[in-house]
Amino acid sequence: MTRAILIIIGLLCAVVTAAGIIHLQPFNAEWGPEQNGYRFSLTAEKYSIIYGEPINMTLRIMNVSDSPKPLSGESMWDNLVITGQNNSPVRHISCGYQTMDSEPYQLKPGEWCFLDKRDIAREYHFCKPDKYIIQWCGTTTCWLSENNWRVVPACSNKIEITVRNDHSNPYAEVHCRLVHILPDKWNTYLGGTHKSVLLLYPQCGLSNNITVFHTDQLMEPAPYGSNLIGRNKWGYAYIDISPECQKRWPTAKDDIIKALEIH
């Protein structure tokens, strides 16, 4: 009986739509200023991150007006402004899309919802450990009449993310060295064991990549269809290059061997 009551209360406090969960309860976090009847809040799953780990962010939208507001948007995650300590901008390298209903949900006064959690490390080029300031800066639409509207700038709060080296992980240097040889639009990502590094080109997809990893002992045959390319101070180095990535970066193998001092 108690559980049934709790479920009913939960349904009264949130409405599920294709845009996400619509909440009626207050969200205790920092919000950006009110613009066109909306406020936006940007939060991170973690605020101190090891270089190469995912940087998972969530953007929330709240209606602070006295009337319903359409919850609509197309590619809101492309509108992040990210700078390092020296105000150097972080380059946007791939597009991510958050789609809404064809007929947008009307966000009632006081309601808020969140967009899907996104790993922005896959979409922005964090080229080194640093402290980064991140803010969402986009627009909303102000309808003056049925056929008359204007675009109103909007922004969230600012948050600070610390991206640090993992000095306990000797393979972190591998990742740092590979970042500095990446061609334009490429990105890099640590594998699950932190002994492997994925080099990604956005248009190729996650399954088409270049994987570089090391083992302490020589493995015969080479695992996962890879090729042994030599040895360095991290161990035996292996590489797996998809045909599509080979076309886009013909000198990848030679460049990686040089950067990692493989013999």
Q: Comparing 44-48, 104-108, 195-199, 202-206, which segment has the lowest mean pLDDT?
A: 202-206
pTM above 0.85, yes or no: no
Structure tokens of 257? 């061997």
Residue spans per domain, the chain: 2-164, 172-259
- pLDDT tens for residues 109-142? 988 887 667 888 877 878 778 999 999 998 877 7
Q: Comparing 76-85, 209-218, 232-241, which segment has the lowest mean pLDDT?
A: 76-85
pLDDT on residue 167:
67
Q: Which CATH class is domain 2-164?
A: mainly beta
Going by DSSP bridges, is the β-strand pair 227-232/235-241 parallel, antiparallel, or unpaired?
antiparallel
Average pLDDT over residues 73-98: 74
- pLDDT tens for residues 156-201? 999 999 988 776 666 777 877 888 888 887 877 766 655 788 888 8
What is the DSSP annotation of the chain? -HHHHHHHHHHHHEEEETTEEEE-S---S-----BTTEEEEEEES-SEEETTS--EEEEEEEE-SSS-EEE--S-GGGGEEEE-TT-PBPEE-S-------SS-EEEPTT-EEEPPPEEGGGTEE--SSEEEEEEEEEEEEEEEETTEEEEEEEEEEEEEEEEE--TT-TTHHHHHHHHTTPPTT-EEEE-TTSSEEEEE-GGG-TTSEEEEEEESS--SSPGGG-EEEEEETTEEEEEEE-HHHHHH-TTHHHHHHHHTT--
Average pLDDT of the chain, as a whole number: 79
pLDDT on residue 51:
78
